[in-house]
Amino acid sequence: MQSIAWLSIVIWLPIGAGIVTLAMGDARPRAARWSALVGSLATLVACVPLYVGFRNGTASYQFVERANWIPALHAQYYLGVDGISLPLILLTAFVTVPVVIAGWTVIERRPSQYFASFLIMEGLMIGVFAAADALLFYFFWEAMLIPMFIIIGVWGGPRRVYATLKFFLYTFLGSVLMLVALIYLYEKTGSYSIAAMQQLPLALTVQRWIFLAFLVAFAVKVPMWPVHTWLPDAHVEAPTGGSVILAAIMLKMGGYGLLRFSLPITPDASRELDWLILLLSLIAIIYIAFVALVQTDMKKLIAYSSIAHMGFVTLGAFLVFLILAATGTSDGATVGMDGAQFQMISHGLISGALFLCIGVMYDRLHTRDISAYGGVVNVMPAFAAFMVLFALANSGLPGTSGFVGEFLVILSSFRASFWYALLAATILILGAAYNLWLIKRVIFGGVANDKVAHMQELNGREFLVLGVLAASVLLLGVWPAPLLHMMDASVQHLVQQAVASKIPAVALR
Amino acid sequence: MIGPGVVGGAVGAGIGAPSMLAALPEMLLAGAACLILLFDVYADPARRALTPTLTMVVLLAGVLLTSWFAMSGHRELLFDGLYVSDPLASFLKLVAFATMATVVFYSQDYLEQRGMRGGEYYVLCLTALLGVFVLISANSLLTVYLGIELLSLSLYSMVAFDRDSGIAAEAAIKYFVLGAIASGVLLYGMSVLYGLTGTLQLDSIGHLVRHGTDAGVIIGVALVVVAVAFKFGAVPFHMWVPDVYQGAPTSVTLYIATVSNLGSFALIMRLLAHGLAGLPALWTQMIMAIAVLSLLIGNLIAISQSNLKRMLAYSAIANAGFVLLGFATGDTAGYQAALYFTVAYVLTTLGAFGMILMLARRGYEHEEIADFKGLAARDPLLALLMLALMFSTAGVPPFVGFWAKLWIIQALLGGAHVWAATFAVLISVVGAFYYLRVVWYMYFEAAGEQPAAPPRARMRFILALNAAGVLLLGLLPNALLNICSRVIG
């Protein structure tokens, strides 16, 4: 289709740049920083052809690269993107740049290892989204844990070892069950191609087991209540950049997995067990939002808010069956799925930006306690403007990207049932409550203490990072059409896959 | 599998001059062991430093010889059918030669620092290797026994090699006593099988024993399985493993964990997979139980270890569990996966013990996990290599250990052992913890009182190659996977 393997480039370029950065050594932090910046920017530039060359009207894989990787296991180096994965790849490449810039002078300990970890992780995360072969997908999915383990463990807060071990073991536990399910599917289809697995007819009992195995893997990653407990720990202890990547990209892998694996591979089990996902999603939305309300640590607050917002993603994705049952058609379901997808991208930008904001404050006062702040607007007006914008976006203010995703999901939940819509809509109230209360306590009011009085206004680097993110949040908020168009065909295809039964006619039970 | 007609034909050829050629690697080893012993006794002290070099030359010659025979790739029976030469044997011998060469390389400095430079180490290494080779090529119960004794007796003396160390002497005695009992059990089991079938030939036993309901057969097979499990250090016959791993000089532990492990694989392959191929149901269930227990006990107890050698011992028990899981499937896919797992494990373990040897110095063993604290700050390269090795053993991509576990699980699922596969992956999450702890100490803890790592540029280079192999085979696993499926056809 095209002569240049852009997907391979965006996967291996950052990994290569990471290795170069690592080779620079910690004795030359300047060289390491610059090679990291150049690497991440080059990756972002390499994404431009992907965006420009992407054709919107089709659900089939584009930019396909297919080569034999492990013929002995029938696994292929098979890459391709559709409307579901491409936005996430763009998001990954986009968010990594601010992460590198944000760590520019802040990271003094082993800087080359820090930047290298992020670049290598960027490549692996893009690999997760670009893989069209299940084994390749799993390969990237697991490999990614290594740099994140190092990032939280080396540059994290006081309880970093506990947090990073918990993070690693939780996600590892989830994913090994997925591996068993994938190998089982391979034994049935004779290939690791995800598309082949999606077409494989499966009896309902088998589907149920596979669905549950997938669910454990993806629910841990999303994270859904009650397997979310690793997230607040990991977020609080991770360095700023780590939190940004965790919130912006890693959580999305869970959502992506549900859309790419659970719904299409086990549609009948999804239909049967959709109540489980919907229930867990609503608990996440309502209960976790209350939990967020009482946090005293800013990072923890945003971490819990992330869980609540990811609840919207899972809710939107799994409403499809209820809508089908209520209206007889799956038309409305695409709206919910669109909302879920949009929410992932939007939340990636907003939560990333909020963690960067907290990082900015932490760099000055070295505490994340809400009570240590107050009246920041008096000393840092520009920063306060950004922070307020992102907090409002996080609570779904119209005009920001946060509104679009939530609106679409609530809209489609009306088609399922009024009560779902009512419960889901509580996030608008609760979200506004914890976000605004955070702003009130941290940003507004009189200058709380001497330390706050001596906080320095944003420097150019921080301003640039937050400015770019603010612009993209606003842009997606007022003009979501390009992103929605990009997703449209793939989302429709996904809904069709989800509502079509895969139970073989003879084995119907 | 080869038909009985072909076997009979090859046996009929008897001991002829041309047919002995395939056994040249063994003859080379036997001759070299004698010559190096003589050289070490009679050469003047200044020249004795040449012993390791001579050993390396022998190993290199062995690699060349074996590769030459590997070319032919067909199955051949020698010495009235006592000895078999087939692609599997050639491959395992090649791996064993290469492994032993790496062991000798890693051990040199360590032995020298501790004043253990006597040539006996190298001679014993060679005789033990000969034992492994005899096991690899065994086609008769007698040859199996010969190989296992040659290997074990060499290992007992190697464990006690540091004669001034009390803990080493204790380990050697434990190993010897338990090992002798296991040998007795093996011999008894073999005699029962011989009594029932009237033959010592492994491939004939496989055809003759077809009825597993006979009490005699069950007893005979059970006794053989016990001996095999002992050699693997599988639960409940694992008691010797932690003491020997910890008590033996690290260079000997390295040997036991790698070269001797190849011998264990050959043992189970020849004795059970080939010898009792007609009756898989009889022994696969026993092996499955032993494998599951090994995984459970090995992984759980490894968590509480503070000594890296002892932790790796329990890790070896757990990994033996994985290899045995492959055999518990009782089919070719499982054996192939087990072979791949063994090779991957040997490669990774070489690096892990090599790292201990690299960091050890006179009077300082560097074998506590706490000794690795802050290694990332003191020596980023070594820490990175160790990180790769640890994540590989934990089974995390992109390292070779991932494919090893994946293939075993795939073989289990292919044989419809869904629960065993699920158990294996879940317990390997438990296992991940103690490998992660090494990484944690290296990367997340501040350096303690440890001295800077010694430069040792040559060893650093080989260690880097070793870890690079672990990564490269992880990124492009196909070649080794293919070899493993080809040699066990």
Task: Pick A179's closest partner by Cβ from B425, B476, B481.
Answer: B425
DSSP secondary-structure letter at B20?
A: G
Average pLDDT over every residue of A448-469: 87
Tokens read off for B172 = 């050697």
Alpha-carbon gap, residue A486 to A52, rounded angstroms: 11
Interval B24-66: pLDDT, tens: 888 899 999 999 888 888 888 777 778 888 889 999 998 888 8
pLDDT band (50, 70, 90) for residue B153: very high
pLDDT recorded at residue B5: 37
* Among A492-496, B110-114, B288-292, the range of highest mean pLDDT: B288-292
Between positions 39 and 78 of A, the ones with CB within 8 A of B are 68-73
Return the residue in A168, A209, A210, A230 with the most chain B beta carbons within 10 A, the one to mutate for interface testing: A168
Which residues, other chains included, contact A204 with Cβ-Cβ below 8 Å and sequence gap of 6+?
A: A268, A269, A272, A503, A509
Burial class (CB in 10 A: 0-12, 13-18, 19+), B187: middle
B432 touching A, CB under 8 A? yes
Task: Pick B429's closest partner by Cβ from A69, A143, A172.
Answer: A172
Say if residue A123's pLDDT is above 90: yes
Q: Which residue has the higher pLDDT, A326 or B334?
A: B334
pLDDT recorded at residue B99: 94
Would the CB atoms of B397 and A25 count as touching at under 8 Å?
Answer: no
Q: Evaluate whether A458 touches A466 at the Cβ level (below 8 Å).
A: yes
Task: Pick A183's closest partner by Cβ from B377, B410, B439.
Answer: B410
Average pLDDT over every residue of B75-79: 81
DSSP calls for B126-195:
HHHHHHHHHHHTB-BHHHHHHHHHHHHHHHHHHHTTSTT-HHHHHHHHHHHHHHHHHHHHHHHHHHHHHH
B413 touching A, CB under 8 A? yes
Tokens read off for B137 = 């090529």
Chain A residues with beta carbon closer than 8 angstroms to that of B441: none
A489 touching B, CB under 8 A? no
Say if residue A507's pLDDT is above 70: no
pLDDT band (50, 70, 90) for residue B258: very high
Q: Which of B194, B127, B181, B193 is nearest to B154 (CA)?
A: B127
pLDDT exceeding 70 applies to what percent of chain A? 99
Q: Evaluate whether A236 touches A300 at the Cβ level (below 8 Å).
A: yes
Average pLDDT over every residue of B160-173: 88
A97 touching B, CB under 8 A? no
Chain A nearest-CA distance from B371, in A, is: 18
Return the residue in A19, A146, A152, A154 with the most chain B beta carbons within 10 A, the one to mutate for interface testing: A146
B414 touching A, CB under 8 A? yes
B105 touching A, CB under 8 A? no
Chain B nearest-CA distance from A124, in A, is: 10
Domain ranges of chain B: 12-187+235-271, 281-489
pLDDT recorded at residue A373: 87
* Among A65-74, A100-109, B121-130, the range of highest mean pLDDT: B121-130
Which of left, alpha, beta for B374 (phi over 0: left; psi -120 to 50: alpha)? left
pLDDT recorded at residue A506: 60
Q: How many residues does chain B have?
A: 489
Chain B residues with beta carbon closer than 8 angstroms to that of A154: 376, 443-444
Burial class (CB in 10 A: 0-12, 13-18, 19+), B211: exposed
Looking at every residue in chain A, the average pLDDT score rounds to: 88
- Pick the range with the lowest mean pLDDT from A348-362, A403-417, B249-263: A403-417
Alpha-carbon gap, residue A265 to B302, rounded angstroms: 38
Say if residue B68's pLDDT is above 50: yes
B386 touching A, CB under 8 A? no
Strands annotated E in A56-194: 62-70, 75-81
Say if residue B296's pLDDT is above 50: yes
What are residue A35's DSSP bridge partners? none
DSSP calls for A5-36:
-HHHHHHHHHHHHHHHHHHH-TT-HHHHHHHH
pLDDT band (50, 70, 90) for residue B96: very high
A160 touching B, CB under 8 A? yes
pTM: 0.91
B407 touching A, CB under 8 A? yes
Alpha-carbon gap, residue B315 to B304, rounded angstroms: 12
Interval A281-298: pLDDT, tens: 999 889 999 999 999 889
Which residues, other chains included, contact B275 with Cβ-Cβ below 8 Å and sequence gap of 6+?
A: B141, B202, B203, B205, B206
Chain A nearest-CA distance from B476, in A, is: 7
Q: Is the peptide bond before B280 cis (omega within 30 degrees of 0)?
A: no
Chain B residues with beta carbon closer than 8 angstroms to that of A72: 477-478, 481-482, 485
pLDDT exceeding 90 applies to what percent of chain A? 35
Chain B residues with beta carbon closer than 8 angstroms to that of A69: 476, 478
Chain A residues with beta carbon closer than 8 angstroms to that of B418: 180, 184
Q: Which of A144, A178, A365 is nearest to A258 (CA)?
A: A178
Would the CB atoms of B429 and A169 count as touching at under 8 Å?
Answer: yes
Task: Pick A143's closest partner by Cβ from B384, B397, B406.
Answer: B397
Q: Which residue has the higher pLDDT, B256 or B360?
A: B256
Interval A59-82: pLDDT, tens: 888 888 888 898 888 889 999 999
pLDDT band (50, 70, 90) for residue B19: low
Task: Pick A153's closest partner by Cβ from B413, B426, B443.
Answer: B443
Please calculate the CA angle A495-A499-A505 and round it to the nearest 5 degrees: 145
Say if residue B4's pLDDT is above 50: no
Q: Which residue has the higher pLDDT, B425 or B365?
A: B425
Which residues, other chains included, contact A30 with Cβ-Cβ below 8 Å and sequence gap of 6+?
A: none
Q: Residue A66: what are its φ and ψ, rounded to 5°? A: -140, 120
Nearest CA in chain A to B473: A70
* Among A134-138, A318-322, A332-336, the range of highest mean pLDDT: A134-138
What are residue A70's DSSP bridge partners? A75
Task: Pick B444's closest partner by Cβ from A26, A142, A160.
Answer: A160
Chain B residues with beta carbon closer than 8 angstroms to that of A173: 426, 429
Return the residue in B439, B475, B484 with the most chain A beta carbons within 10 A, the one to mutate for interface testing: B439
Say if residue A385's pLDDT is above 80: yes
Distances in whole angstroms, Cα of residue B26 to Cα of each of B23, B31, B58, B172: 6, 9, 11, 26
pLDDT band (50, 70, 90) for residue A499: confident
Looking at every residue in chain B, the average pLDDT score rounds to: 87
pLDDT recorded at residue B155: 94
pLDDT exceeding 70 applies to what percent of chain B? 94
A 10 A CB-CB count for B76 gives 17
pLDDT recorded at residue B235: 87
DSSP secondary-structure letter at B114?
A: T
Interval A10-32: pLDDT, tens: 999 999 999 999 888 888 888 88
* Among B41-50, B71-80, B400-409, the range of highest mean pLDDT: B400-409
pLDDT band (50, 70, 90) for residue A324: confident
pLDDT recorded at residue B405: 93
Strands annotated E in A47-200: 62-70, 75-81
Return the residue in A164, A166, A172 with the most chain B beta carbons within 10 A, the one to mutate for interface testing: A172
A297 touching B, CB under 8 A? no
pLDDT exceeding 90 applies to what percent of chain B? 53
- Pick the range with the lowest mean pLDDT from A264-268, A405-409, B76-80, B219-223: B76-80
Q: What count of Cα atoms within 13 Å lies in the side-chain half-sphere of residue A439?
A: 19
Burial class (CB in 10 A: 0-12, 13-18, 19+), B215: exposed
Which residues, other chains included, contact A419 with Cβ-Cβ below 8 Å and sequence gap of 6+?
A: none
Task: Pick B413's closest partner by Cβ from A140, A143, A187.
Answer: A187
Say if residue B16's pLDDT is above 60: no
pLDDT band (50, 70, 90) for residue B212: low
The residue to which tokens 């010897």 are assigned: B176
CA B71 vs. chain centroid, Å, equals 24
Chain B nearest-CA distance from A271, in A, is: 25
Q: Evaluate whether A403 touches A311 at the Cβ level (below 8 Å).
A: no
Cβ pairs bridging A and B (under 8 Å): 97
pLDDT band (50, 70, 90) for residue B469: very high
* Among A308-317, B91-100, B443-452, the range of highest mean pLDDT: B91-100
Average pLDDT over every residue of A185-201: 88
pLDDT band (50, 70, 90) for residue B2: very low
Average pLDDT over every residue of B134-143: 92
